[in-house]
Structure 1
Amino acid sequence: MQLLQSFFGLIGDLTWGWALIPFLVIIGVFFTTVSGFVQFRYFGRMFQVLSTKYQTTNPKAISAREALLLSVGGRVGGGNIAGVAVAISVGGPGSIFWMWAIALVGMATSLIECSLAQLFKRSSGDGTYRGGPARSIIHGLGADYRWLAVLYSICLIASFAIGFNAFQGNTVAGAVEESMGIDRLWTGILLTGITGLIVFGGIHRIAKVSDIIVPVMAIGYLLMALIVIALNITEIPHLIYTIFTSAFGLDEAIGGGMGAALSQGLRRGLFSNEAGLGSAPNVAATAEVRHPVSQGITQSLSVFIDTILICSCTAFIILLGDVYQPGVEGIDGVVLTQQSLAFHLGGWTSYFLTGAILLFAFSSIIYNYYLGENALNFLTENRIVLTGLRLVVMALVFLGASAPDATSVFFFSDPLMGLLALVNLIALLMLFPTAKRLLDDYRGQLKSGVAHPVFNPDKFADLDLDRTAWTGKER
């Protein structure tokens, strides 16, 4: 076991500890610049997907909005509540500025990776689609790179479907036990049962559930933060000033200065919004849309919601209160968020926050499961193996919830996610010329007066596309 831990520790050091974060930042800036700041240029179009006017009329298909909300449900999790609190505790208020910065460039990365996933998606024959980095690699780069796609798929299953779902079960059970005194065993049984009902229903049931719970959790948390902001509205200008001065090491009260703020902001932002990690494209590919870039634009909104909105909610709740003391070591994590919210609105908010954590974690569980299912489908379409994955996920959720110490065996999750991201970024760089062609096609149609561009596979006849997934019809 010690040898395994050392091995995965080395992988973690070579990815998250050394190369990956600078790589993600540089690629995000590169995509932003070369694409002509596409995430800002099409910012207004991102919100169109929320209107029923732009939803698919095919009852068997996954709509662009459902795919958006499923990805939001996956990105938004404990990192938005506990992770932001840790970033502030270690890096000070300035870490929030760098969290915003990495989200803004990450929007471009997400647009590129999700557009490619849409382009190379495959029809399942029942009105649904599958895609993601594994399929983008093998159909975009060729069969010679199948080993890279297989490596990606194995890392995705091991980190998200297996490791992270155990941690999510642990998060939910711990929050319920802390605030309500309910034994972990009962929470584990209930959570496992609900998980089973949803994952055995397939992508349709997963998407429908996300379409309901994600708006509830996101809007509820946002409204709570807006109340806190309204009660402290006169403090907002000074708070913004503090965030900016701390970000550049100008606030001497913050230990670590600019280096700590930069490191924590970038790390927590990347962990939270997942832009460039190769996870969200698996969900983006399920949607039935007019043009691949339209779903890429939609997924940029997912990054914006996760970091600019939800993470900022947590930051403002903490920084507008008196619980957090700059430069003073004390409580951190979810407890800091919980006590800060109670400072503003009273002790009853601990129950609200528990509910928010439960919904955040549960939406992440079903998202993580689907990522694993999609990766497994790339490796094999055997139904028995798929059923086995579903049962394993249910067992791990129960194990993580009822036996918190058991999650220590999933030490491989973060290192494998780092390797997963590295594979995805290499593939993105190799496929960027294709992504640029897609963007040029989308822009060209807009310039010619087409309000909602439609993808024509005949213009990309040299690519290995599934033409049954692109009929050219309005959706």
Structure 2
Amino acid sequence: MQSLLNAINGLLWGQVLVYLLIGTGVYFTVRLGFIQFRHFFHTFTVMRGSRKSDKEGISSFQALSTSLAARVGTGNLAGVAIAITVGGAGAIFWMWLIALLGMATSFAESTLAQAYKVHDKDGNFRGGPAYYMERGLNARWMGSLFAIFLIIAFGLVFNAVQANSITAALHESFKFDKLTVGIILAIISGAVIFTGIRGIAKVAEKIVPAMALIYLSIALYVVVINVTEIPAILKIIFDSAFGWQEAAGGAFGAMVMTGVQRGLFSNEAGMGSAANAAATASPYPAHPASQGYVQMLGVFIDTIVICTATASIILLSGGVESFSGMGGVEITQRALDIQVGDWGGSFVAIALLFFAFTSIIANYSYAETNLVFLQHKNTRGVMILRIAVLGMILFGATQSNTVIWSLADVSMGLMALVNLIAILLLSNEVIKLAKDYNQQLNAGKSPTFDRTKLPELDKKIEPGIWEVKK
């Protein structure tokens, strides 16, 4: 099975997605006027009103927390170590690049998700790539294909990855039995996912910001006590990213592919996952593009901030060469042990427990939204999905790390492939929505979306959504 997965991944990532992800990021960066750089500080302005919500949707802050809950997890603590192990220090540069380009891609998919969101039978907002494929492209078949890939990836495989990393970390630090940890994790996860999307958002907005700040504070301490070594570390990253040695040794392609893979797994830009969280918000300002700005910030926080923190800890501790034979999360644990003492590895285990736990519940919320899409807004299959998710947590807790990561890469790649094609086909609508928002902003107004001013969108948006309130 492993050889088959490796062959599929080689084709998907080595021949298709590396070029498509970078190309799409460049395309939206240019067409949106380098929005991630030019309007970077505006993202914080939007966040000032992010606590507002209503009976139809969660707040923008809750949507950001939910998307960060899915983003910030195994990819940040274990995935970075794997990237350096496989691709060398230069892979970090390619993670940075795909994140900076991915900020524009994330703006595009999240803006579309807001524009084409719908009401479910309970009056709550739902949406995401499957919905904008159906309504924006009139291609329900494409939306259904995406929804199936997402349910497999986020509902099943990714949750096995998160459970696998949690149990590995707790076993490494505290010698806890992996199956026992898996059972407890399944019980706690079940208690949250049975509360529904609003309950998941409330848990995410409390846990994610607190754990991220604590983890970043410790990483900053590590950087400060090693500040004289930072120039050398940066030189290693850039020399490796563009070094003749890697190119001559045939390692350049593996480095780029690994950096892009691990970067996408972590920040999810272009994958279409965070767009599901974006669609559930009642944004402020009341315009689809405002949620595009919010989710653009999420990519920056995930990769440029948190992944860089992990990379710094590992590289300042001698790099992965010092931890041969270890898995991704064990490398991060041992590296922090070196920097702060024996409690470092235990802290990583606890941090991963919280990060990966919130990833599990956020991943589930994405899967539920896409199951509802497949069932034409009906929720009858939700209970089966919840049981399957809990089963995958138990499966992941005791399985081989290599097989699970390979499955994650395949499912993630298929999702991204379908979504990237869709947002490129809908790119003109993204540009019009961004232009409408920024024209109002430049006129000194708080942007609001009047769907009737964009007739080509108005006829495709669901009735009752984005209606101008009299």
TM-score of the pair, normalised by structure 1: 0.91
Moved more, 184-193 or 121-130: 121-130
Contact map agreement 1:80 1:310 (CA 8 A) in 2: yes
Distance change >3 Å, CA 225–CA 412, structure 1 → 2? closer
Equivalent in the alignment of 1:248:
242
Shift of 1:313: 0.3
Equivalent in the alignment of 1:17:
14
CA displacement, residues 56-106 of structure 1 (integer Å, 9 cap, x when unaligned): 252563000110111111111212112211222333322222211111011
Separation in structure 2 between the aligned mates of residue 134 and residue 300 of structure 1, nearest angstrom? 20
Distance change >3 Å, CA 11–CA 251, structure 1 → 2? closer
1:78 paired with 2:74, answer yes
Contact map agreement 1:117 1:133 (CA 8 A) in 2: yes
Separation in structure 2 between the aligned mates of residue 406 and residue 347 of structure 1, nearest angstrom? 25
Separation in structure 1 between the aligned mates of residue 7 and residue 257 of structure 2, nearest angstrom? 20
Equivalent in the alignment of 1:188:
182
1:239 paired with 2:233, answer yes
Equivalent in the alignment of 2:51:
55
Separation in structure 1 between the aligned mates of residue 324 and residue 309 of structure 2, nearest angstrom? 22
Contact map agreement 1:457 1:467 (CA 8 A) in 2: no
Structure 1 unaligned residues grouped into runs of 5+ = none
Contact map agreement 1:131 1:286 (CA 8 A) in 2: yes
Shift of 1:408: 4.8
Equivalent in the alignment of 1:304:
300
Q: Secondary structure at the match of 2:380?
A: helix
Contact map agreement 2:56 2:282 (CA 8 A) in 1: no
Shift of 1:118: 0.5
Equivalent in the alignment of 2:168:
174
In the alignment of these two chains, the number of paired residues is 465
1:285 paired with 2:279, answer yes
Equivalent in the alignment of 2:384:
388
Shift of 1:254: 11
From 7, 29, 32, give the equivalent of 2:29.
32
Moved more, 334-343 or 67-76: 334-343
Contact map agreement 1:89 1:332 (CA 8 A) in 2: no
Letter in 2 for 1:174: A
Equivalent in the alignment of 2:141:
147
Distance change >3 Å, CA 146–CA 10, structure 1 → 2? farther
RMSD: 2.6
1:43 paired with 2:37, answer no
CA displacement, residues 21-79 of structure 1 (integer Å, 9 cap, x when unaligned): 1111011111101110011121112123443x442252563000110111111111212
Letter in 2 for 1:349: G
1:227 paired with 2:221, answer yes
Shift of 1:398: 2.4
Letter in 2 for 1:61: G
Distance change >3 Å, CA 121–CA 237, structure 1 → 2? same
Percent identical: 47
CA displacement, residues 181-201 of structure 1 (integer Å, 9 cap, x when unaligned): 222232122211111111111
CA displacement, residues 408-450 of structure 1 (integer Å, 9 cap, x when unaligned): 5896543232222111111111111111110111111112221
Contact map agreement 1:138 1:146 (CA 8 A) in 2: yes
Shift of 1:466: 2.4
Contact map agreement 1:48 1:54 (CA 8 A) in 2: no
Q: Secondary structure at the match of 1:453?
A: coil
Structure 2 unaligned residues grouped into runs of 5+ = none
1:329-344 mapped onto 2 (5 Å cutoff): 331=326, 333-344=328-339
1:71-470 mapped onto 2 (5 Å cutoff): 71-124=67-120, 126=122, 128-142=124-138, 145-249=139-243, 258-289=252-283, 290-322=286-318, 324-325=320-321, 331=326, 333-380=328-375, 381-401=377-397, 403-404=398-399, 408=403, 412-450=407-445, 452-463=446-457, 464-470=460-466
Distance change >3 Å, CA 442–CA 383, structure 1 → 2? closer
TM-score of the pair, normalised by structure 2: 0.92
Contact map agreement 1:107 1:300 (CA 8 A) in 2: yes
